[in-house]
Amino acid sequence: MNHVSGMRLMPILLAAVTLVSTGLGGMAAFRFRDRLHLLLGFSSGAVLGVALFDIIPEVFALRGGSDYMPFAAIGFLAFFALERYTAMHRAHEHAHAAEAHEQELGALSAAGLALHSFLDGVAIGVGFQTSAQVGFLIALGIIAHDLSDGLNTVTVVLAHGNPPRRASFWLAVDMIAPLVGAATTLIFNLRGALPWVLAFFAGSFLYIGASDLLPEAREHDSPWVGVATSLGLLAIYLTTRILHGL
C-alpha cells in the first residue's frame, strides 16, 4: 500500500477505533443498570455537552454559521412533536400499546444518536479531505466522546422500557455507524450538507438531554443525579478544551 492510498484509507481506520470506545461505553451502561438514574444524569449532561461544546461551536466556526441555526430549532421541535404525538396516543390506548409507543420513542432517540455517529464518521472523512492534521484532530475528538455515545445509546433505550436485546441492537448500530459515515466520504463529497445536518442534531440533542433523559433521571429524587449531570457536562467540556489546545 503506497502513501497516497494509505492516507485515503486513514478515515476508515480511525473510524474503526470508535468501535472500541463506543462498545466500552455501552458495556458500562449494561454493567451498572442498577444505577440507571445516575447513568441517565451523566448521559443527559454528556448529550447536552456534545451539543453545547462540540456541535454548535463547529457550526458557528463555519462561514455564515448563524444562518444554519434555524435547523437547530427544527431539530428541537421535531423531537418535541414526536414526544407530544407519543403522549397523545398513550392517553387514548391501553397499557400494552402505551408501553409500545414508549419503547418506540427510545428507539427513535437511539436512531438519532446513531445518525450522529454516522455524521461523526463523515466529519472524519471531510477532515481528511481538508488536511491530514485536521482529520486526525477531528478523529481524536470523536474517539474520545464516542465512549459517551455508547453509554447514551444503551441508557436511552433501556430508560424507555426496551429489553436489553434491543439496546444491544442499537449499540451495534451506533458502533458501525462511524465506519459507514467515513466510507461514504470516499464516494461522495458531503461537505456542503454537513452544516445543516449538524445544526439539526444540535437541536435534537438539546431536547434529548434536557427534556428526555434528565427528567427520567430526576424521577429518582437523588441528589447525586445533579452531580452526575454536572460530571457529564464537565467530561465533554474538558475533552473539547484539551483537543482544541492540541
List, in order, residues 6 or more apart from 166 with CB less than 8 Å away.
Answer: 103, 107, 157
pLDDT at 90 over 50: no
Quick count: other Cβ atoms within 10 Å of Cβ 193?
11
Q: Please compute the mean of the pLDDT values over residues 209-222 and round it to a whole number.
A: 72
- pLDDT band of residue 91 (cuts 50, 70, 90) is very low
Positive/negative CA dihedral, 204, 205, 207, 213 = positive
Q: What is the pLDDT of residue 219?
A: 66
CA atoms within 13 Å, Cβ hemisphere of 136? 5
CB 156 within 8 A of CB 205: no
- Separation in Å, CA 36 to CA 27, 111, 154, 219: 13, 20, 10, 11
- pLDDT band of residue 205 (cuts 50, 70, 90) is confident
Quick count: other Cβ atoms within 10 Å of Cβ 131?
10
The amino acid at 153: T
> From the CA atom positions of the chain, what is the Rg in Å?
18
pLDDT at 49 over 60: yes
Helix (H, G, I), strand (E, B) or coil at 34: helix
CB 139 within 8 A of CB 26: no
User: In this structure, what DSSP letter does residue 189 have?
Assistant: -
Whole-prediction pTM value? 0.64
Q: What is the pLDDT of residue 144?
A: 64
Residue located via cell numbers 478544551: 241
pLDDT at 17 over 80: yes
Q: What is the pLDDT of residue 139?
A: 79
CB 125 within 8 A of CB 139: no
